[in-house]
Amino acid sequence: MEKEGALVDFGKNLISTLSKRNIVVRFPVPIDRTYRDTWNIIGTHHGHPVRCAQESETTVIHGEIVGVDFSLCFGCEKCIEACPTHVFDLILDESGQPVVDPIREEDCILCLVCEIVCPVAAINVKSEGGSDDTLNSLLEGTRG
Ligand code: SF4
Ligand code: SF4
């Protein structure tokens, strides 16, 4: 149970609101789902692009098929545990904070489980791409 004045922190890069009972609650701003079209590519990492928002060069998103906003991710590892194809690895960002990197995004089968389990909406999975062969074989298995 939260005390009066206690801080409920769901991650970094957050919007704050003040409740009637003077409890500060912070809500995460989800990953920008337009980032593939609107953010600038500033480099690559393990074969995937790294993009930054025009207004903030310190806010970066790693990945093309599976995007992870490093300013939101706090390394809880829920996506690592949930991903059936082991797309993610835990790394340290430039400030030494744990974040997940979509290091094997080519193996993604577009199941969207990582988006669902992430508590701060730091992940966006592209609507096409990923491992088509694996996805098709899974779909075939459901057609019985
Ligand atoms: S969409 Fe599924 S397969 Fe792709 S990274 Fe997320 S959990 Fe893994
Ligand atoms: S579930 Fe979200 S916050 Fe947790 S490690 Fe994965 S991307 Fe980061």
Full strand arrangement of the beta sheet holding 14-18: 7-8, 24-28, 14-18
pTM over 0.85: no
**109 in a structural domain:** yes
Q: What is the pLDDT of residue 62?
A: 98
C-alpha 130 – ligand 1 centre gap (Å): 9
Q: Which domain holds residue 114?
A: 30-142
Closest by CA to 58, choosing from 30, 27, 94, is: 94
Residue 60: which CATH number? 3.30.70.20
Is residue 59 within 8 Å of residue 107, measured between CB atoms?
Answer: no
Q: In the predicted model, what is the mean pLDDT of residues 116-138?
A: 80
Q: Which atom of ligand 2 is nearest to the CA of 78?
A: 1
Q: Is residue 8 in a domain?
A: no
- What is the reported pLDDT for 141? 60
The whole-number average pLDDT for the span 48-62 is 88
CA of 77 to the centre of ligand 1 (A): 13
Report the 10 Å Cβ neighbour count for 28: 20
Q: Choose the residue to mutate in 48, 68, 101, 110 for probing ligand 1, maximizing ligand atoms within 8 Å of C-beta.
A: 110
Number of domains forming the structure of the chain: 1
Does residue 12 sit within a domain? no
- Around ligand 2, the residues with Cβ closer than 6 Å are 68, 73-79, 100, 117-118, 120, 122-123
Q: How far apart are CA 11 and CA 2, in angstroms?
A: 17
